[in-house]
């Protein structure tokens, strides 16, 4: 029990390592949240600093999700933590990324971290959802729509694989889908109104 609680606390603070904020602070000595969507995430870095830095942020934010699930699975083997602790570690790192106490609860939207954590949690389901999201991205050129679609279908693909026999996986994926939709609520309004940004649009940062 104590080990499980320590795991969740550690995963939350790993999630607080917002690499969009860290990279932009290092490169430009500025806060990424002052630009574009105001979001501390990969897409905003792509629009403000370009592909090179966005790819770095995507990789690092994904890796922290993978790290937390990896640690959780290791501790489950070593200390007998059950499957719900592993799923909860995923929830904790996403909460840390989306609502980081170290950044006054203004974090990212969780897509990169979600990709990283679920590729290790269940790579089969992850690849199906990523594939569908990439198709949406290719057709509509909107990262937000691709993210929303890929994450929203996650619980349904999980149900196809496990039915209701894996409650921890269902709880994790439902949380991932709902948190994504909540964090993208402004994007959803812009998608509906036809004003959402598409790939290729650039936002200049001050010198």
Render pLDDT for 130-187 as a digit per residue (tens, 0 to 9).
999 999 999 999 999 999 999 999 999 999 999 999 999 999 999 999 999 999 999 9
Rounded-to-integer distance, Cα 10 and Cα 154, Å = 25
Beta strands in the chain (DSSP E): none
Q: What is the pTM of this model?
A: 0.93
Tokens of 173: 């994926």
The confidence score (pLDDT) of residue 203 equals 56
Instruction: Give the burial string for 110-124 (b: 16+ CB within 10 Å, else e).
Output: bbbbbbbbbbbbbee
The predicted pLDDT at position 138 comes to 96
Low-confidence ranges of the chain (pLDDT < 50): 206-207
Instruction: Give the model's pLDDT for residue 202.
Output: 58
Q: What SS3 class is residue 76?
A: helix
Domain extent listing, the chain: 2-193
- The tokens for 78 are 């070593």
On whether the CB atoms of residues 148 and 187 are closer than 8 A, the answer is: yes
pLDDT attached to residue 205: 58
């Amino acid at each position: 029990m104590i080990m499980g609680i320590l795991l969740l606390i550690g995963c939350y603070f790993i999630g607080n390592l917002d690499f969009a904020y860290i990279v932009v602070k290092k490169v430009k000595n500025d806060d990424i949240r002052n630009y574009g969507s105001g979001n501390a995430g990969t897409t905003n870095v792509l629009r403000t600093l370009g592909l090179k830095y966005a790819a770095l942020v995507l990789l690092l934010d994904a890796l922290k999700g993978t790290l937390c699930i990896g640690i959780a699975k290791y501790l489950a083997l070593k200390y007998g933590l059950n499957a719900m602790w592993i799923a909860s570690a995923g929830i904790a790192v996403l909460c840390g990324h989306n609502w980081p106490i170290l950044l006054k609860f203004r974090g990212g939207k969780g897509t990169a971290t979600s990709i990283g954590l679920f590729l290790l949690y269940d790579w089969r389901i992850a690849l199906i959802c990523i594939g569908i999201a990439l198709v949406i991205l290719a057709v509509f050129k909107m990262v937000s729509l691709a993210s929303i679609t890929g994450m929203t279908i996650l619980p349904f693909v999980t149900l196809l694989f496990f039915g209701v026999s894996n409650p921890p996986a269902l709880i994790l994926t439902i949380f991932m889908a709902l948190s994504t939709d909540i964090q993208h609520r402004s994007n959803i309004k812009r998608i509906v109104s036809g004003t959402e940004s598409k790939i290729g649009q650039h936002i200049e940062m001050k010198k």
